[in-house]
């Protein structure tokens, strides 16, 4: 019968078109791709066990630091791959290249002009780097201006020493036009001083380094910077330090007086893309290696964050305030890193899950309410048609009766939770109202047909 097919069709929505279905599929694919990419970007760097560091000359101060870091990092399963270089300037060039393999390196304060686009950050200042000037001759040299016209070793290309020595000599009016400034590494400069082919040379390094020990125990003279205060004012990246009398040898009273030196600061610098967990490990290594006192610093003076050459790592600031993160204090590095990285995924995921769980009851209720709305919409449509039709035909009355009975039968089969049974019976009551209206219309039709 017509009513059997008409029930629940009055308020039915149009089917989804093929074009709309394609758009929905494409949208779902794009959302899944974005979620997959985000998940991969978080998980992919979760487990790094390799750091590439650029240091300095094979037997230089920076290489010595890296050699001490390596076994400390190895205890946490991280391999430190050491790459030699000519020094600070080359290290800076390597690190600021975003495509290079280098992740960490040592840079001497005052040897570079950092830019925001370098994307580099300071992990810590780790040590003073004293600048030594050894010379030959009988005259006492305590001002760089006294080296005018002589043969002076100034370091090698790519080294921070070359930059610093030329700047200091420039303050004293010494240039390549009036003095022979010869580029030479530490070994060559030492040999030339001993053999007489150099009159003076700049060196850099800790007093306990092999090269410094050879120089300090030789017959060469060590310059004391009489103008140190003025030079530090002009070159703020340097510090004034004192090498105490008899530091080399108490027996031989070497040196025989306190010696005033200038010192750069060795900075441990990293690309800002370095994994935060590895920064904490490097800070632990730096603290182990550089915490001890020496002739120039008290116990605990290094490492520190007393530098403004590069932006300071956020992890470094947290480390110097409160130490390593909680998990890294009590768990092996690999496990702490694993958990921390997974938390970055799990916490947002749990937030989404909790939100969904909270929304599910409301979604379920809305879905059930929508089902009742559909029934009431069908019922209202039928009632409106009855009210609009002033003189229905017998066939139309039959169709209405069939439709209302179909609505009643289907309403009786609605499956909802117990707390919605009241709504089911409210719907059946509304159906009864419309059924009575159809019955009244039938009575009116019979009255019109009956003879007076």
Question: How confident is the model over 105-128, as a mean pLDDT?
Answer: 91
Where in the sequence of the chain do the CATH 3.40.190.10 domains occur?
47-324
Question: How confident is the model over 5-29, as a mean pLDDT?
Answer: 59
Report CA-CA distances (Å) from 170 to 154, 173, 178, 256.
Answer: 12, 5, 11, 29
Look at 38-42, 200-204, 414-418 and tell me which has the smallest mean pLDDT. 38-42
pLDDT bucket at 6, cuts 50 / 70 / 90: very low
Average pLDDT, rounded, for the chain: 85
Question: Per-residue pLDDT tens for 300-346?
Answer: 889 999 988 899 998 899 889 887 766 666 666 555 555 565 565 56
Question: Per-residue pLDDT tens for 141-185?
Answer: 999 999 999 999 999 988 889 999 999 999 999 999 999 999 999
Question: Per-residue pLDDT tens for 180-189?
Answer: 999 999 999 9
> Which residue's structure tokens are 């200038």?
262
Phi, psi of 25 (to 5 degrees): -65, -45
Question: Per-residue pLDDT tens for 37-72?
Answer: 665 555 545 457 899 999 988 878 899 899 999 999
**In the predicted model, is pLDDT for residue 195 greater than 50?**
yes
47-324: CATH superfamily: Periplasmic binding protein-like II (3.40.190.10)
The fraction of the chain above a pLDDT of 70, given in percent, is 85
Report CA-CA distances (Å) from 131 to 194, 253, 295.
Answer: 19, 21, 14
Whole-angstrom Cα distance, residue 286 to residue 305? 12
Q: Which pLDDT score, from 0 to 100, does residue 30 have?
A: 78
DSSP string, 122-143: EEEEEEEEEEEEEE-SSS---S
pTM of the model: 0.62
Non-local (6+) Cβ contacts of 268 within 8 A are 104, 105, 106, 122, 123, 124, 125, 126, 282, 286, 303
Whole-angstrom Cα distance, residue 297 to residue 266? 13
SS3 string, 146-209, reads HHCCCEEECECCCCHHHHHHHHHHHHCCCCCCCCEEECECHHHHHHHHHHCCCCEEEEECCCCC
Q: What is the chain's Cα-based Rg? A: 42
Q: In DSSP terms, which residues pair with 249 in a beta bridge? A: 254
Using the 8-state DSSP alphabet, how is residue 323 labeled? -
Residue 215: burial class (beta carbons within 10 Å; 0-12, 13-18, 19+) = buried
Whole-angstrom Cα distance, residue 114 to residue 136? 37
């Amino acid at each position: 019968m017509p009513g059997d097919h008409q029930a629940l069709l009055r308020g039915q929505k149009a089917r989804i078109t093929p074009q709309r279905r394609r758009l929905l599929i494409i949208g779902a694919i794009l959302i899944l791709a974005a979620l997959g990419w985000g998940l991969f970007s978080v998980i992919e760097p979760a487990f790094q066990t390799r750091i590439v560091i650029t240091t300095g000359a094979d037997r230089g101060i920076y290489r010595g630091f890296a050699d001490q870091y390596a076994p400390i990092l190895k205890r946490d399963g991280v391999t430190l791959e050491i790459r030699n270089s000519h020094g600070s300037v080359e290290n800076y060039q390597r690190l600021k290249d975003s495509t290079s393999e280098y992740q960490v390196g040592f840079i001497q304060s005052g040897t570079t002009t950092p830019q925001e686009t370098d994307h580099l950050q300071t992990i810590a200042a780790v040590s003073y780097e004293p600048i030594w000037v050894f010379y030959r001759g009988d005259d006492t040299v305590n001002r760089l201006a006294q080296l005018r016209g002589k043969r002076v070793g100034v370091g090698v290309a790519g080294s921070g020493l070359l930059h610093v020595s030329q700047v200091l000599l420039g303050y004293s009016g010494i240039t390549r036009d009036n003095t022979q400034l010869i580029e030479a590494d530490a070994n060559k400069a030492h040999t030339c001083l001993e053999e007489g082919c150099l009159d003076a040379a700049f060196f850099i390094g800790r007093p306990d380094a092999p090269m410094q020990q050879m120089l300090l125990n030789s017959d060469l003279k060590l310059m004391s910077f009489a103008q140190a205060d003025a030079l530090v004012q002009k070159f703020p990246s340097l510090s004034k330090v004192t090498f105490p009398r008899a530091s080399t040898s108490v027996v031989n009273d070497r040196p025989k007086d306190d010696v005033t030196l200038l010192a750069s600061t060795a900075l441990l610098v990293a690309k800002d893309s370095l994994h935060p967990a590895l920064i904490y490990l490097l800070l632990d290594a730096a603290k182990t290696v550089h915490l001890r006192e020496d002739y120039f610093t008290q116990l605990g003076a290094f490492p520190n964050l007393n530098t403004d050459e590069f932006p300071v790592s956020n992890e470094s600031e947290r480390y110097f305030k409160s130490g390593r993160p909680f998990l890294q204090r009590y768990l092996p590095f690999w496990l702490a890193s694993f958990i921390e990285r997974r938390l970055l995924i799990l916490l947002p995921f749990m937030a989404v899950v909790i939100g969904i769980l909270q929304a599910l009851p409301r979604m379920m209720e809305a879905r059930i309410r929508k089902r009742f709305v559909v029934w009431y919409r069908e019922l209202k449509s039928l009632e409106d048609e009855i009210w609009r039709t002033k003189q229905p035909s017998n066939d139309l009355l039959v169709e209405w009766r069939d439709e209302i009975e179909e609505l009643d039968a289907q309403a009786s089969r609605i499956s909802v939770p117990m707390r919605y049974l009241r709504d089911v019976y409210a719907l059946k009551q509304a159906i009864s109202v419309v059924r009575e209206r159809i019955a009244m219309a039938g009575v009116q039709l019979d009255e019109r047909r009956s003879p007076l």
